[in-house]
Amino acid sequence: MAKKIIILASGNGSNAEEIMRYFKVSSVADVSCVISNKREAGVFERAKSFDVPCVWLNKSYFESNEIVNYLNDLKPDLIVLAGFLLKIPKKLIQLFPNKIINIHPALLPKHGGKGMFGKHVHQAVKDSGDSHTGITIHYVNENYDEGGIIFQAQVGIDSNDDPDSIAQKIHKLEHKHFPEVINQILNK
Active-site residue numbers? 104
**Number of CB atoms found within 10 A of residue 112's CB:** 20
179 CB contacts (<8 Å, ≥6 apart)? 18, 19, 21, 22, 23
Q: Are the CB atoms for 63 and 42 separated by under 8 Å?
A: no
Burial class (CB in 10 A: 0-12, 13-18, 19+), 15: buried
Q: What is the DSSP string of 134-168?
A: EEEEEE--SSTT-SPEEEEEEEE--TT--HHHHHH
Buried b (16+ CB within 10 A) or exposed e, 26-65: beebbbbbbbbbbeebbbbebbeebebebeebeeeebeee
